[in-house]
Amino acid sequence: MSLALPVYRFRLEPYLEFAKKAFAREATYRFEVFTNVGSLILRIYLMRMVWLALYAQNAAPQGIALHQILTYTVIALLMSLILEVDGTRMIREKLREGTIATDFMKPISPALYFFSDGLGQTLLHGILIVPSLLVALLMVHIDVPPPAALAAFAVSFVLGYLVNFMLNFCMNCVAFWTLESFAVQLIVRWCSDLLSGQIIPLLFFPGILQQIVLALPFAAIYSTPLLIYIGKIPPGGYVEALLVQVGWLLVFAAAGTVIWRAAQRRLVVQGG
């Protein structure tokens, strides 16, 4: 089924409305909101106990002090509140329902629509960081880096968010061929949890393995901003680290563009 894309003039207002609606929709599930906060706090407590036990037994890798790893863990879990949001999962849902065809006919960019929906959800989850952080401070002392490092962390975090979005976008576009992308996303998610630095710093990997995992795109999502935050990437390395993230963003953006155009030519809607 081939669909011709309509020609339209870009307007920002519709995408702002999509983000507002996503925010309101996500806020209606109050029980899920409180569950996310409670789950995050529990994970912070458990990870704190794990690291305290490892450092007490001198079983933790050298190179990162206890206060740094505790800070790393809390910031990583707070980041996960935002980075685990996936607005592109709607692609496979719309394919199963058959509504993706009408989206192609609307005078909007479907890709920007998915991004706006995810951004609306992200804004709510960003608000949840505040109470989560306040409770976390009762359990763990968090280091605050110098202003320059904090600014570099903020830029790196935004780039990591965009890399994560494009990675999810590419994965969910697989549903145009398979009508389901959950299995692929689950595999990539497992790899990302281990190799992005979300759970443990990638600096803990030994030798050549460390160089490999730091070179993977997953590192651009969590590891780079976190290593900037705790000072393991010095100010002199900020530009290089950020450029690597930009490079991965451009790679996934190019791949997403190619996959999306191919998907438009191969649109198969269930039931017709």
Task: Quick: pLDDT tens for 233-256.
Answer: 999 999 999 999 999 999 999 998
How far is residue 117's CA from residue 181's CA, in Å, rounded to a whole number? 19
Q: Does 7 fall in a domain?
A: no
Average pLDDT over residues 218-228: 94
Q: Does 183 fall in a domain?
A: yes
Helix/strand/coil for 36: helix
Domain that holds residue 112: 13-265
Q: Residue 3's pLDDT band (boundaries 50, 70, 90)?
A: very low
Query: What does the block give as tokens for 12?
Result: 């920002």
Low-confidence winner among 22-31, 78-87, 148-157, 232-241 (lowest mean pLDDT): 22-31
Give the pLDDT confidence score for residue 172 in this predicted structure: 83
How far is residue 3's CA from residue 104's CA, in Å, rounded to a whole number? 7
Asked if pLDDT for residue 59 goes beyond 70, the answer is no
- Asked if 256 contacts 170 with a C-beta cutoff of 8 angstroms, the reply is yes
Domain count, the chain: 1
How far is residue 210's CA from residue 208's CA, in Å, rounded to a whole number? 5
Give the pLDDT confidence score for residue 130 in this predicted structure: 75
Q: Residue 180's pLDDT band (boundaries 50, 70, 90)?
A: low
Please return the burial class of 42, using the count of CB atoms within 10 Å of its CB with bins 0-12, 13-18 and 19+: exposed
Low-confidence winner among 27-36, 149-158, 215-224 (lowest mean pLDDT): 27-36
Q: Does 81 fall in a domain?
A: yes
Q: Does 272 fall in a domain?
A: no
Give the pLDDT confidence score for residue 7 in this predicted structure: 47
How far, in whole angstroms, is CA 34 from its chain's centroid? 20
Q: Does 261 fall in a domain?
A: yes
Asked if pLDDT for residue 269 goes beyond 70, the answer is no
DSSP assignment, residue 98?
T
Q: Residue 181's pLDDT band (boundaries 50, 70, 90)?
A: low
Give the pLDDT confidence score for residue 155 in this predicted structure: 96
Q: Does 271 fall in a domain?
A: no
List pLDDT tens digits, range 195-204.
898 888 888 8
In order of 99, 108, 111, 164, the CA distances from 9 in angstroms are 23, 9, 15, 28
The answer to whether the Cα torsion of 124, 130, 136, 138 is positive or negative is: negative
Give the pLDDT confidence score for residue 37 in this predicted structure: 74
Burial 103-136 (b: 16+ CB within 10 A, else e): bbeeebbbbebbbbbbbbbbbbbeebbeebeebb
Q: Does 229 fall in a domain?
A: yes
| Residue 238 or residue 43, greater confidence | 238
Q: Does 8 fall in a domain?
A: no
